Amino acid sequence: MLEEGRLKICGKRVQSKIFGLKREEVSEEWRKLHKEELHDLSCSQDVIRVIKSMRTRWLGHVAHMTEKRNGYLVLVGKPEIKVASG
C-alpha cells in the first residue's frame, strides 16, 4: 500500500511537469495547475491500474511459456534451476 501511494504521488508530479504552469488571464500571473485541471488535461488512467493491468497481462504470457523458460521458473518458484542455453 505504501508503494501505491508513492507511485500516485510520482505520477502527479510527472503530470505537473509535463503540463507546466498556467497563466491567469486577468492577473497574468503564473501558477501551478490544480489536481482537477491536471486530470482534465491528461485524461490518463490511474498509474496503479495501469501497472496492475500490465502485470496481469505479463502473467498471462508467462503462464503459457514452456517449463524450461526462465520467466516460467520464476513464476512457479524455482528460480535456482539453471537451464542450458542453446
Q: What is the pLDDT of residues 65-77, one digit of tens each?
A: 888 888 888 877 7
| 11 and 38 assigned to the same domain | yes
Angle at 51 between CA 48 and CA 52, to 5 degrees: 85
Q: Is the pTM higher than 0.75? A: no
| 33 and 59 assigned to the same domain | no
* CA dist., res. 53 & res. 2, Å (int): 19
Domain membership of residue 52 (yes or no) is yes
- How many domains, in total, are found in the chain? 2
Domain membership of residue 85 (yes or no) is no
Residue 10 in this model has a pLDDT that exceeds 80: yes
Is the separation of the CB atoms in 59 and 75 below 8 Å? yes
Q: What is the dihedral of CA 56, 58, 59, 63, to 10 degrees?
A: 150
> What is the pLDDT of the chain when averaged over all its residues?
79
* CA dist., res. 59 & res. 62, Å (int): 5
Is the separation of the CB atoms in 66 and 83 below 8 Å? no
Q: State the residue range of the domain holding 62.
A: 46-79
